[in-house]
């Protein structure tokens, strides 16, 4: 219970003063923050009473306003608002009710103020309006803040409505509460309403992967927000687009989750671009096959797979045997066509789960994961060899290429991608050395072979400067006269303190590395110089034959070089014979015939070496301005025990003669072979039976005998 204070003593005088109603009213009226008024219902709102608040409200003293002495209230009211104020008041006159109206007045200081007027009409007994009385207060400040709020609202609404990003609020269970037109547009709907009625379950209807919504909610509950949340969604027409979302939770003060609020951006173009870039970075632009970058990934992936499941992985390194030749002689267009065809063939030969990679140039790598037995891939290899060597039609011409394949196996041959690739490459070299068009598995011994090759390559680069090369000469005899009718210059490499290296093992390397061009020139100079000197010493010229490699032939400038060497040594051009192998003639015959004719024009002789081993078309043979056919020694070798070879020899001799060429047989090792060749009309022979290739002094001694 409250204890009430004892009543205060109030004197009778004070009581009278306090109870003076007029004084009370005056005091109230004059302290109110506004103006109490009483006015006539006329065109001026003529004020017949205003309280002291008038001055603060209007800037005029009450006396100025009363009876319109200086201004009338109608004048103070802003012109645009007068009509509305009057209408509002007239309405209440009709009903006799209170009125309330907001409008603007012009303050004596010129500023505009918002006011709220509340009042009621006074009627006489006849029910006629006598006056109006009421209260007007300044509400400018409230109005300003209201307007600011409205403007702010309008601004935000405009951002919401006109944003390029989709903006939304959704319930946690996947229904839209609110979203902007951009969201509808991104999702392919014509209007906000259409989207609202179409999507009632975001998880099921929107996301391509329904699991995405779960991920979204998980992130939300974990972090209270998601940033750059990328997902694929369906548009209205079923198209799939990529979007990114940034969203947050909105909770009430008690922490209860109200909704999610976020933005959506269509990033399909960017994603497509990224995918395209990624594709380009990981695929070969010509064939569309995975490239070196992807190879590294896959290889690592397959290795892990093999570790987990215990299977084996085979890595096959494949090189097209004749690609460089075709590419150089037929042009890049033909080369590209060939690669495209080969890429298709390779892909069609392997299983779905295997990978075909183009490493660059004419090199491919095939990955065979998941093998139970390594022998299983032999089948694939035979299929590939057969498919690659099918004739290939390019620009109306048929080409036949083959390939050499080397295989390494995980885990036996290497435990990491680099080693596996290196060893497959090594095995591929073995396949090349074994005559191409075959496949080889990596073995430890092979590595030694490769090391030797690398060793030869590096030593070869200095061999010319160090004068490690020399020429041996092998005589040819004319079977009719029995006399030496020429010599073939054969290069020898004598590295200091090491055994002599056979040209068969370094010429191909010199070819590949390009060193052959300098070597070739040296051979030509040395052989021509020797032949010239021999001629002057012996008093009779002896033709010398020089082997010209493919690469020298393909590069322009051979004719000029030969011309220069002849001039420099003074050798009669008729005493120089250039030997070209038959396989060089297979591609771009037009170019070759041109060069051959240019060489003929200088006066040098031409011979086709190793005839019968290449694939030269008989149809073209007649177009070659060639003086000699040199039958490859494989047709002479073991002639005694293989009668079929005799028939072939006969045919070649007849063919050569019918084309007006002289025919030479190489590799004659026995008297029987010599006699047989003599018997079938072969013109000349060369071989161990007569003499091995000899150092020049020994050759000169032989010549004297």
Binding positions for ligand C2E, rule: CB under 6 A: 474, 490-491, 502-504, 507, 520, 523, 547-549, 579, 609-610, 633, 666-669, 686-688, 693
Least distance CB 669 / ligand C2E (angstroms): 4
* Collapsed DSSP state (helix, strand, coil) of residue 561: helix
312 vs 633, beta carbon nearer Mg ion: 633
Least distance CB 669 / Mg ion (angstroms): 14
Q: How far apart are CA 155 and CA 149, in angstroms?
A: 10
181 binds, options ligand C2E, Mg ion, none, Cβ within 5 to 8 A by partner type: none
For residue 552 the two structure tokens come to 């020298």
Least distance CB 389 / ligand C2E (angstroms): 24
Q: How far apart are CA 550 and CA 511, in angstroms?
A: 8
693 binds, options Mg ion, ligand C2E, none, Cβ within 5 to 8 A by partner type: ligand C2E
Q: Which stretch binds Mg ion (CB under 5 A): 44-52, 319-327, 331-339, 575-583?
A: 575-583
362 contributes a contact to Mg ion by CB under 5 A: no
631-670 footprint of Mg ion as x/- string (CB under 5 A): -----------------------------------x----
Least distance CB 509 / ligand C2E (angstroms): 12
Pairing of the two strands 35-39 and 469-478: unpaired
Which one among 511, 609, 637, 683 touches Mg ion, defined by CB under 5 A? Answer: 609
Angle between helices 671-679 and 643-658 (to 10 degrees): 40
Q: 161 phi and psi, to 5 degrees?
A: -70, -35
Helix (H) or strand (E) holding 39: strand 35-39
Least distance CB 609 / ligand C2E (angstroms): 5
162 vs 638, beta carbon nearer Mg ion: 638
389 vs 518, beta carbon nearer ligand C2E: 518
Angle between helices 444-463 and 503-513 (to 10 degrees): 70
Within a 10 A sphere around the Cβ of 623, how many other Cβ atoms? 16
Q: What angle do CA 287, 288, 291 make, to 5 degrees?
A: 95
Q: What angle do CA 333, 338, 339 make, to 5 degrees?
A: 100
Residue pair 86/102 in contact (Cβ under 8 Å)? The answer is: no
For residue 81 the two structure tokens come to 């608002």
577 contributes a contact to Mg ion by CB under 5 A: no
124 vs 641, beta carbon nearer ligand C2E: 641
579 contributes a contact to Mg ion by CB under 5 A: yes
Helix (H) or strand (E) holding 684: strand 684-686
667 binds, options Mg ion, ligand C2E, none, Cβ within 5 to 8 A by partner type: ligand C2E
425 binds, options Mg ion, ligand C2E, none, Cβ within 5 to 8 A by partner type: none
If 0-12 CB within 10 Å is exposed, 13-18 middle and 19+ buried, where does residue 203 land? middle
Least distance CB 631 / Mg ion (angstroms): 9
604 binds, options ligand C2E, Mg ion, none, Cβ within 5 to 8 A by partner type: none
* Collapsed DSSP state (helix, strand, coil) of residue 480: coil
504 binds, options ligand C2E, Mg ion, none, Cβ within 5 to 8 A by partner type: ligand C2E
Least distance CB 558 / Mg ion (angstroms): 16
414 vs 667, beta carbon nearer ligand C2E: 667
Sign of the torsion angle spanned by Cα atoms 509, 514, 516, 518: negative
550 contributes a contact to Mg ion by CB under 5 A: no
549 binds, options Mg ion, ligand C2E, none, Cβ within 5 to 8 A by partner type: ligand C2E
696 contact partners, CB below 8 Å, separation of at least 6: 471, 472, 473, 530
Least distance CB 473 / ligand C2E (angstroms): 10
- In this structure, what DSSP letter does residue 400 have? -
609 vs 684, beta carbon nearer ligand C2E: 609
Residue pair 317/379 in contact (Cβ under 8 Å)? The answer is: no
687 binds, options Mg ion, ligand C2E, none, Cβ within 5 to 8 A by partner type: ligand C2E
Residue pair 542/535 in contact (Cβ under 8 Å)? The answer is: yes
491 binds, options ligand C2E, Mg ion, none, Cβ within 5 to 8 A by partner type: ligand C2E
213 vs 432, beta carbon nearer ligand C2E: 432
Q: How far apart are CA 351 and CA 369, in angstroms?
A: 10
Written as one string, the DSSP assignment of 587-601 is S-HHHHHHHHHHHHH
Query: Which positions touch Mg ion (CB under 5 A)?
Result: 547, 579, 609-610, 666
């Amino acid at each position: 219970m409250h204890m009430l204070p004892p009543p205060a003593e109030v004197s009778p005088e004070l009581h009278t003063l306090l109870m003076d109603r007029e004084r009370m009213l005056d005091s109230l009226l004059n302290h109110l923050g506004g103006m109490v008024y009483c006015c006539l219902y006329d065109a001026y709102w003529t004020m017949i009473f205003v309280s002291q608040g008038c001055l603060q409200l209007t800037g005029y003293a009450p006396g100025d306003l009363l009876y319109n002495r200086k201004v009338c209230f109608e004048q103070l009211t802003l012109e645009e608002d007068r009509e509305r104020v009057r209408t509002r008041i007239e309405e209440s006159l009709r009903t006799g009710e209170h009125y309330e109206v907001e409008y603007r007045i012009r303050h004596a200081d010129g500023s505009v103020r918002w006011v709220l007027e509340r009042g009621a009409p006074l009627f006489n007994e006849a029910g006629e309006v006598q006056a109006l009385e009421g209260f007007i207060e300044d509400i400018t400040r409230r109005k300003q803040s209201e307007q600011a709020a409205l403007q702010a609202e309008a601004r935000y609404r405009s951002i919401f409505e006109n944003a390029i990003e989709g903006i939304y609020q959704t319930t946690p269970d996947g229904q839209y509460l609110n979203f902007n037109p951009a969201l509808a547009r991104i999702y392919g709907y014509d209007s906000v309403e259409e989207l609202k009625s179409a999507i009632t379950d975001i998880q099921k209807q929107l996301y391509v992967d329904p699991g995405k919504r779960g991920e979204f909610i998980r992130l939300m509950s974990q972090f209270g927000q998601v940033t750059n949340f990328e997902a694929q969604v369906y548009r209205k027409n079923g198209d799939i687009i990529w979007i990114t979302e940034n969203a947050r939770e909105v909770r009430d003060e008690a922490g209860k989750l109200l909704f999610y609020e976020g933005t959506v951006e269509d990033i399909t173009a960017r994603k497509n671009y990224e995918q395209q870039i990624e594709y380009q970075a990981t695929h070969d632009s010509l064939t569309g096959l995975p490239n070196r970058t992807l190879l590294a990934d896959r290889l690592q992936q397959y290795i892990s797979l093999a570790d987990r499941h215990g299977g084996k992985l085979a890595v096959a390194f494949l090189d097209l045997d004749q690609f460089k030749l075709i590419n150089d002689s037929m042009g890049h267009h033909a080369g590209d066509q060939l690669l495209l065809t080969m890429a298709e063939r390779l892909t069609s030969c392997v299983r779905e789960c295997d990978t075909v990679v183009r490493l660059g140039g004419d090199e491919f790598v095939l990955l065979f994961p998941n093998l139970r037995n390594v022998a299983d891939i032999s089948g694939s290899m035979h299929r590939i060899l057969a498919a690659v060597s099918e004739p290939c039609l390019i620009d109306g011409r048929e080409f036949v290429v083959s390939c050499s394949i080397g295989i390494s196996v995980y885990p036996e041959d290497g435990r990491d991608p680099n080693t596996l690739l290196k060893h497959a490459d090594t095995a591929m070299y073995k396949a090349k050395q074994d005559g191409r068009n075959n496949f080889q598995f990596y073995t430890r011994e092979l590595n030694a072979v490769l090391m030797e090759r690398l060793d030869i390559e590096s030593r070869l680069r200095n061999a010319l400067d160090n004068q490690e090369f020399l020429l041996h000469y092998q005589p040819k005899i004319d079977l009719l006269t029995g006399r030496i009718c020429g010599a073939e210059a054969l290069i020898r490499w004598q590295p200091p303190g090491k055994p002599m290296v056979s040209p068969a093992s370094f010429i191909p390397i010199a070819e590949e590395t390009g060193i052959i061009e300098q070597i070739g020139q040296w051979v030509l100079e040395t052989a021509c110089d020797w032949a010239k000197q021999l001629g002057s010493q012996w008093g009779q010229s002896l033709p010398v034959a020089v082997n010209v490699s493919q690469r020298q032939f393909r590069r322009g400038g051979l004719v000029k070089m030969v011309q220069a060497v002849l001039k420099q040594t003074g050798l009669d051009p008729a005493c120089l014979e250039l030997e070209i192998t038959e396989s060089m003639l297979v591609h771009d015959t037009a170019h070759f015939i041109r060069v051959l004719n240019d060489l003929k024009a200088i006066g040098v002789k031409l011979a086709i070496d190793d005839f019968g081993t290449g694939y030269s078309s008989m149809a073209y043979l007649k177009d070659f301005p060639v003086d000699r056919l040199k039958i490859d020694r494989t047709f002479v070798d073991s002639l005694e025990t293989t009668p079929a070879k005799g028939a072939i020899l006969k045919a070649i001799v007849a063919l050569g003669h019918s084309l007006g060429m002289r025919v030479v047989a190489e590799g004659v090792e026995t008297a029987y072979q010599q006699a047989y060749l003599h018997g079938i009309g072969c013109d000349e022979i060369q071989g161990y039976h007569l003499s091995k290739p000899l150092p020049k002094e020994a050759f000169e001694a032989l010549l004297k005998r």
